[in-house]
Structure 1
Amino acid sequence: MNYILKVSFSAFLSFSLLFSPFMSTQSHAFTEQIMDVGAKGQNVIDLQKRLKYIGFYAGEIDGIYGTVTKEAVRNFQTKFGLEQVDGIAGEKTKEMLLKASKDLYLTPAGPELNTEFSSQDIQYMAQAVYGEARGESYEGKVAVAAVILNRVEHPDFPNTVKGVIFETRAFTAVADGQIWLEPDAEAYKAVYDAINGLDPTKEAIYYFNPDTATSEWIWSRPQIKKIDSHIFAY
């Protein structure tokens, strides 16, 4: 995709660690979505993480509600005495799962998750990654997510995920409408990896495609590395 442009000459501040040693003591709740085979996204990722944490799910945390996830839910429903054992994550199943896995979000020892970001933040980031880096390698997708997070932490940019992504002229995917495409599981996974500290860009706050960039200014930014079709820079 095209370059990311923000006219700013302030010095770069180091990207602070997102995973605080003291996590929120508030339980992270699901939305009202009823999950069954075919569902995907943030809620499914949370569901899989919780099931995995308490020993019911051994599959990949991929955000896709497939047959393995359904069977894990069915086993959970049976074990916890729920009246309806159908493998569908409805209200009662989610409520019981929240209780059974309450410690997941209270200790740093739980599976990879950062409660600083809402499900809407995750959704917007996945959409941005899919729109900007579709067709790039997995590293390239994580890199785009990392840039978004680095900008949230940088004083020259908005301090929210939504503010960064929808800032005027910030992302080509927003300008051309690709931000509203449905992201795939790999886009969600890339977002979670970035949230949990993976940053192949080494704290970049800009990236651009050298084959399509028309701004002389973006070329003046100190370059870090090239990943696929994008050059990442400070």
Structure 2
Amino acid sequence: MTWLTLFTVKKNLLLLGILLAFILFLFRDILLNRHFLFGSDFVAFYLGMKQFLFTEIHTHHSLPFWNPYIYSGMPYWAHFESTIFYPLGFLFWLISPERAFGFTVLFHLLLGCVLMHLLSKSFFSSPWAGFVASAVFVLNNFLMATLYDGQMHRIFCYVWIPLILYLLNKALNSPSLWFYGSLAGAAWGAQILAGAPQDAFYTFLAASLLLAWNLKRPLKTARHNPRVFLLLVLLFCFGSGLAAIQLLPAFE
């Protein structure tokens, strides 16, 4: 590793660290003073759903199929926004939902910052490009407004976008197509489980556009084109297969 490469790596880490530290500063009251993160939709809708899940797990030691407390009852497991099986929503199983909300959103913002930095570095070598891309991705008006509204499922879905695109781009330019394609499908499946299937659908469209753009790039051999279609199949099959535990009850 040359001194120039080492300097670039250190600059990347420094800029990323500054951005992560700023996000932690924004959440300082939640981390240090045990404050709760406010969100109108979370208080009005998700808090009750997550409290019901927490109570069922800790009191009855089971996952609820049905919520008897709304009208004459309604499906719970089959409800997309119950997010029972979302892997990064594990805190809602362990601690009270009003506390889990703040910590989970903070973790997703930190994760989104890192993943967007990773994606930008796969296209641009400049450390400042990664810094600006990550800052815009996690601090933009759309995400802050969504956070204020308390639409946690959309925040959870949002942060998976750069990882999925990064893995697809990596698969296109790597001999390990099956490995990276499967990882991209797994990430898309996790995004579906996050509770906003419309956003997962838009991500699939974005992934399709990225792969279609690669078909138009110059200097690509005829052997490259089947890889593009195979990646799209891998993304759909692995993603929908992983999320089938939520998709099938919802469709039923």
- TM over 0.5, yes or no? no
Could you state the TM-score of these two structures normalised by the residue count of structure 2?
0.26
Higher share in helix: 2
